Amino acid sequence: MKKTLLATAALLLATAAAAQLYVPGETLHYRMSYRAKLFPNTEVAKVIMQTTEATLDGIPAYKVYGYGQTTAAFRWILPVRDAYTVWVDPQTLRTRRFDSDLHEGDYTFRSTYIFDWFNHNVHTRWQRRQDPEKFKTMPISDKSMDAISLYFNLRTEDDANIKEGYERELEMVLEDTVRYLKFRYECREVKKIKNLGYFNTIKFRCKIATSDGFAFKDGTEFEVWISDDRNKIPLYIKSPIKVGSVCAYLSSYEGLRYPLESFIKK
């Protein structure tokens, strides 16, 4: 179960990071909790996401930095320190570079992806623990994204398009392959967010395909509630695991581009 929780932690961190891309000055804070039948709902980790203006190789860029770490009470059984950094072209809003630096128990992993949009290729390199560094170049399409940037599509989607039957499919670039992610609109509903209050939200059900490519039947599935306003930030994320579920919820925020008009009451 520990490995499952670690994988889910990384997935939730990536999800939270992606939805707030491209708004310099914005900071989102999340709390992550675990719940099971005989285990009370318990906070196990914190996640912070920050977007700033920066430069990459002397060229202006948006820089998104995400960092997740287990709380002190759980660090002895679930020691996670995961960091993701994405550099984005401010003009095309496409990723130029993606870095990850993951420390999960005795497992370490580092990766770098360089996106060559002129030739529609991505150059990846990655290393686990003390293994030799590996390299691969793969073709990409206009739908290809790093794991952090996937949800930018949700943020910019026209509200008029988000209705019954709405569905999108994207391509997620990993070290040596491309995985497919499908998300579909579920409903609009009022959602209570711990310590913040009640919000109007848009709920999506998301599924990541298996390594077989388009085989979604047995893929990882999770749910995302985003604010039903112009910000479209993720307010709540839930991912079932073999025993119980892992959730992430927004705990505080700064520097939003628009007023959080989805807020109803405390």
pLDDT of residue 10: 53
What's residue 56's pLDDT?
A: 96
- Whole-angstrom Cα distance, residue 154 to residue 144? 15
Tokens of 123: 């150059």
The pLDDT value recorded for residue 16 is: 47
One digit per residue, pLDDT tens: the chain, 266 residues? 444 454 555 555 555 444 445 788 999 999 988 776 666 667 788 988 888 999 999 999 999 888 888 888 777 777 888 998 999 988 888 899 999 999 888 889 999 999 999 999 999 999 998 899 999 999 998 888 877 776 556 677 778 888 999 888 878 888 888 888 888 899 999 999 999 999 999 999 888 776 545 444 555 678 889 999 988 888 998 876 666 677 889 999 999 989 999 999 88
Q: What is the pTM of this model?
A: 0.84
